[in-house]
């Protein structure tokens, strides 16, 4: 009589499988232990620990550039005092961006 279901696949014993997994982790420089997650925080956003100054300044510069573009777009649709207020915000954002860019140039000078 034929079996309806096939034989289950052959598995290595637990020790051989564990040793093979450890070799694979070591080869790919992976830690076999799960990473310890940081404790939960009340903050909505957080800066990654170990973030380099260069990366932080580059991201800040890009955020300020986006803020300036958004404010310019908003100012196009306004008139009078409201437009002047938005353009004043643009000027403040651009001044902050100049300071960040100068700090970035000092941190990582371009030859």
User: pLDDT tens for residues 8-62?
Assistant: 666 656 777 778 878 887 777 766 565 666 667 788 888 888 888 899 999 999 9
Domain boundaries, the chain: 53-107
CA atoms within a 13 Å half-sphere pointing along the CA-CB vector of 110: 6
Cα distances (Å, whole numbers) of residue 29 to 17, 20, 21, 42:
18, 14, 12, 33
User: pLDDT tens for residues 58-103?
Assistant: 999 999 999 999 999 999 999 999 999 999 999 999 999 999 999 9
* Rounded Cα distance, 41 and 9, in Å: 45
Q: Are 72 and 90 in contact (CB under 8 A)?
A: yes
pTM score of the predicted model: 0.58
């Amino acid at each position: 009589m034929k079996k309806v279901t096939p034989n289950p696949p052959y598995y290595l014993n637990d020790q051989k499988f564990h040793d093979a997994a450890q070799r694979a982790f070591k080869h790919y420089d992976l830690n076999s232990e799960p990473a310890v997650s940081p404790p939960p925080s009340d903050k909505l956003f957080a800066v990654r620990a170990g973030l380099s100054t260069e990366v932080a300044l580059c991201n800040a510069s890009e955020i300020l550039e986006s803020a300036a573009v958004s404010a310019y777009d908003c100012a196009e649709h306004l008139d009078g005092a409201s437009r002047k207020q938005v353009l004043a915000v643009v000027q403040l954002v651009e001044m902050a961006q100049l300071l960040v860019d100068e700090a970035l140039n000092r941190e990582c000078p371009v030859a």
